[in-house]
Amino acid sequence: MFPIVYSLVGTVLQPCKNDTALVASMKTTFRDEMTERFKAGRDETAESLPMLASLLDPRYKKLSFLPRQLRRRTHTMLEDRLDDVPLKVSSRNDCATPAKRPRLEFMVTSPESSVKDDLQLYLAEKMDDATPALEWWRRNENRFPKVAQVARSVLAVPATSVPSERLG
């Protein structure tokens, strides 16, 4: 959601020289309303669940639409959440024969690795923009186990801008 909002507010809804007075006024009004509605550029937005979802979506994880200070706040929020996640013990049989083990098993993150290491590895990982986020996490959950747990819980939340008291 936020990559789209920031794109609209920062680019699409900026008045141009060629715009008529009416179009420029409409763009300005829409931009101001969207900025107010989504609290674009505020600290509280950088620490919101939708912003965390943007960070955990591999396609937008760079948060390039945010200023560095707000990006850092979102990263810190994820680190705090990761500290609270217990590491699930793998249910696969650890006594598998060597022939059945994946050849690149040594690259799988060990439970002893730190949360910050997992997060930094995730952020440094090169992404395929065409892969849906939940599918990417399903394929990479063994490499970033704690980050994957948070990603599944955050990305599974249905997107809505309607407050719960207005539903139903």
Residue 67 lies in a domain: yes
Cβ count near 54 (within 10 Å): 25
Phi-psi region of 124 (alpha: psi -120 to 50; beta: other; left: phi over 0): alpha
Number of domains making up the chain: 2
Q: Please, are residues 79 and 116 in contact by the beta-carbon 8 Å criterion?
A: yes
Q: pLDDT over 90 for what percent of the chain? A: 32
Residue 96 is predicted with a pLDDT of 47
**Band of the pLDDT at 107, cuts 50, 70, 90?**
low
Residue 10 lies in a domain: yes
Reported pTM: 0.70
**Segment 88-95 mean pLDDT:** 49
**Segment 57-82 mean pLDDT:** 91
Residue 100 is predicted with a pLDDT of 53
pLDDT at residue 20 greater than cutoff 90: yes
Please check whether residues 19 and 82 belong to one and the same domain.
Answer: no
Q: In angstroms, rounded to a whole number, what is the distance separating the alpha carbons of residues 143 and 147?
A: 9
**Band of the pLDDT at 159, cuts 50, 70, 90?**
low
Please check whether residues 127 and 138 belong to one and the same domain.
Answer: yes
pLDDT at residue 10 greater than cutoff 60: yes
Tell me the residue length of the chain.
168
Please check whether residues 114 and 33 belong to one and the same domain.
Answer: no
Please check whether residues 59 and 1 belong to one and the same domain.
Answer: no
Residues in CB range of 63: below 8 A, 6 or more apart: 51, 54, 55, 70, 71, 74
Rounded CA Rg of the chain: 20
Q: Please, are residues 65 and 3 in contact by the beta-carbon 8 Å criterion?
A: yes
Please check whether residues 76 and 121 belong to one and the same domain.
Answer: yes
Got the DSSP string for 59-82? Answer: TTTT-TTS-HHHHHHHHHHHHHHH
The kind and range of the H/E element at 96 are none
pLDDT at residue 168 greater than cutoff 60: no
Please check whether residues 81 and 9 belong to one and the same domain.
Answer: no
27: domain range?
1-40
**Segment 128-132 mean pLDDT:** 77
Please check whether residues 27 and 59 belong to one and the same domain.
Answer: no
Residue 68 is predicted with a pLDDT of 92
Q: In angstroms, rounded to a whole number, what is the distance separating the alpha carbons of residues 158 and 121?
A: 27
Single-letter residue type at 109: T
